[in-house]
Amino acid sequence: MYPELFTVFGYTVSTFGLMLATAFLVGSWITGVRMAEEGLDPEQATTILIYVIIGGILGSKLYYAIDVSIRYDRPISELLFARDGITWYGGLIMATVVGAIGCRIHGISVLVFANCTAVAGAVGQAIGRVGCFLVGDDYGKVTDVPWAVAFPNGAPPTTLPVHPTQLYEIAWLLPVAWFLWARRKKSPFLFGEYLALNGLGRIVIEHWRVNEQVAAGMTEPQWIGAGLVVIGLGGWIYLRNRPRSIAA
């Protein structure tokens, strides 16, 4: 794999960092297109997504630091400032909260903006998983399937062939993005559909990953995924027969 691109003034630019930046740029563009469709100023997409980016990065690091600190008794301060350690669900939670605050500050409907980000979320997450694959992070269990991949320079390294679960998520998220795009003018809560489909995909893909089971035979990401399914479907049912203006 290709974890590093080049070094500038002693700072290494990673392929994951490049893919993360690309994900935000593409997500901003898609969100702007959707906001224009909703009659909103597409220029505000970048403004609110700055809140989302800040919340996402802080949330992903904070979740990782707390989780690893509890599991392995490591100092939270050390984990917070480590270059590695980005947890998607922590980023999703904090990005949603901070993004909602940004919407309120700038007078944008939280519901409408959330729906505008649904397709961008799926596409951006898929691009981020390309970065995970390139740096050899978040791979799965050892396997002998023909498409297995070894990550000798991964995080952590492995010379044994494993399930490339990053690619499995991409194979799930891109059709989800297409589905959400087709549903964008029909759904009462497109963001809820994204949450539910995101969670469903993670529940299934976790069967090939190496995370430990925490309760009832399910891993922590599976429980979070199940929570996203409940929240997404619950919000969809709640909003199905209500006017869109309620969240303005």
pLDDT tens track for 84-129: 666 777 888 889 999 999 999 999 999 999 999 999 999 999 999 9
Prediction pTM value = 0.88
Residue 222 φ/ψ region, left for φ over 0, alpha for ψ in the -120 to 50 degree band, beta for the rest: alpha
Euclidean distance between the first and the last CA atom of the chain, given in angstroms as a whole number: 46
- Give the residue ranges of DSSP H helices in 136-219: 165-183, 190-205
Per residue in 167-214, pLDDT (tens digit) is: 999 999 999 999 999 999 999 999 999 999 999 999 999 999 988 888
